Chains A and B, each alone.
Chain A
Amino acid sequence: MRTNIKTAIVLTVAITSSVLFTSCTSADKAESTTETTAINAAGTTDADAHSGTHTYACPMHPEVTGKEGDMCPKCGMKLEHNDNAGKSNGKAYVMNVKTTPATIEAGKAGLFSFTPGVKDKEGELVPLDLHHERKIHLIVVSKDLSYFEHIHPDYQASGTYDLAVLPANKAYTAGANKNETHFAKGGEYILFADYTPTGGTPQLEKINLTVGGTPYKPVTYSSPKLSSTVDNYTLELVPEGNQFEVGKLAHIEGVLKKDGKVMDAATLENYLGAKAHMVVVGIDDKNYLHVHPEVVNGKFDLHTTFEKAGIYRGWVQFQDGGKIRTMDYVIAVK
Chain B
Amino acid sequence: MNKRTQLMALVAAFFGLIGFQTATAHGGEDHGAATAPTGQAMTYFTSQAISDKYEVVLHYEPLEVGEAGKLRLYINEFDTNRPVDGATLQISSPDDEKLTIAVKPIGKGIYELTGTFPAKKAYSLTISLNAKPGADLLLLAGIEVGKDLPVATTAEPTTAHTHWYDNTFVLLGGGLLLGMGLMFFLMRLRNRRVAVSIAVLLGILPTANWQRANAHGGEDHGGGTAGGGATSSTFAIPKETQFLFNILTQRLQAGEQAQTTTVAGTVQPSSTGQAVVQSPQVGRLTSLQVRVGQTVSKGQTLAVVEQTIDAPTQINLESERNTLTAELQVARKEYDRLKTIEDIVAKRDLTEAEARLTRAQANLKVFSGITRSGGSNARSISLKAPVGGIVGPFTAAIGSTVNVGETLFTVTNLGKVYIEAQVFDKDLAVLRSAKSFGVAGVNDTGKSGVARLLSQAQTINASNQSQRLLFEMDNAGGAFKIGEFVNIRVQSARGTRGLSVPNSAISEMNGKAVVFIKDAPEVVSLAYVTTGADNGQFTQILTGVEADERVIVTGTYQAKMIYLNQ
Contact of A54 with B by CB under 8 A: yes
Query: Which residues of chain A come closer than 8 Å to B178, judged between CB atoms?
Result: 14, 17-18
Query: Which residues of chain A come closer than 8 Å to B135, judged between CB atoms?
Result: 155-158
Contact B206 A19, beta carbon cutoff 8 Å: yes
- In whole angstroms, how far apart are the Cα atoms of A130 and B178 in the complex? 61
| Residues 199-231 of A contacting B (Cβ, < 8 Å) | 199
**How many A-B pairs fall under 8 Å by CB?**
232
**Least CB separation from B135: chain A residue:** A157
Contact B128 A125, beta carbon cutoff 8 Å: yes
Contact B47 A41, beta carbon cutoff 8 Å: yes
Contact A41 B49, beta carbon cutoff 8 Å: no
Contact A28 B22, beta carbon cutoff 8 Å: yes
- In whole angstroms, how far apart are the Cα atoms of A133 and B251 in the complex? 13
Contact A40 B34, beta carbon cutoff 8 Å: yes
**Least CB separation from B88: chain A residue:** A157
Query: Which residues of chain B come closer than 8 Å to A74, judged between CB atoms?
Result: none
Query: Which residues of chain A come closer than 8 Å to B32, judged between CB atoms?
Result: 40-41, 44, 46, 49
Determine how close the nearest CB of chain B comes to the CB of A64; give it in whole angstroms. Answer: 19
**Given A33-B161, A39-B36, A18:B202 Cβ within 8 A:** no
Q: List 5 A-B contacts (CB under 8 A).
A: A17-B179, A34-B154, A35-B229, A41-B141, A155-B134
- In whole angstroms, how far apart are the Cα atoms of A94 and B186 in the complex? 82
Contact B548 A13, beta carbon cutoff 8 Å: no
Query: Which residues of chain A come closer than 8 Å to B166, judged between CB atoms?
Result: 25, 28-29, 32
Contact B548 A273, beta carbon cutoff 8 Å: yes
- In whole angstroms, how far apart are the Cα atoms of A309 and B94 in the complex? 43
| Residues 152-205 of A contacting B (Cβ, < 8 Å) | 154-159, 198-199
| B interface residues, Cβ below 8 angstroms from A | 18, 22, 24, 26, 29-36, 38-40, 42, 45-52, 92, 94, 122, 124, 126-128, 130, 134-139, 141-142, 144, 147, 149-150, 152-154, 157-161, 165-166, 168, 171-180, 182-184, 186-187, 196, 199, 202-203, 205-206, 210, 212, 214, 220, 222, 224-229, 253-254, 547-548
| A interface residues, Cβ below 8 angstroms from B | 6, 9-10, 12-29, 31-47, 49-51, 54, 81, 124-128, 130, 133-135, 154-159, 198-199, 269-270, 273
**Given A19-B175, A38-B225, A38-B228, A198:B202 Cβ within 8 A:** no
Contact B150 A34, beta carbon cutoff 8 Å: no
Determine how close the nearest CB of chain A comes to the CB of B64; give it in whole angstroms. Answer: 15
- In whole angstroms, how far apart are the Cα atoms of A20 and B254 in the complex? 56
Contact B203 A45, beta carbon cutoff 8 Å: no
- In whole angstroms, how far apart are the Cα atoms of A41 and B150 in the complex? 11
Contact A38 B38, beta carbon cutoff 8 Å: yes
- In whole angstroms, how far apart are the Cα atoms of A10 and B175 in the complex? 12
Residue in A17, A124, A125, A134 whose CB lies within 8 Å of B202: A17
Contact A22 B203, beta carbon cutoff 8 Å: no
Determine how close the nearest CB of chain A comes to the CB of B155; give it in whole angstroms. Answer: 9
Determine how close the nearest CB of chain B comes to the CB of A143; give it in whole angstroms. Answer: 31
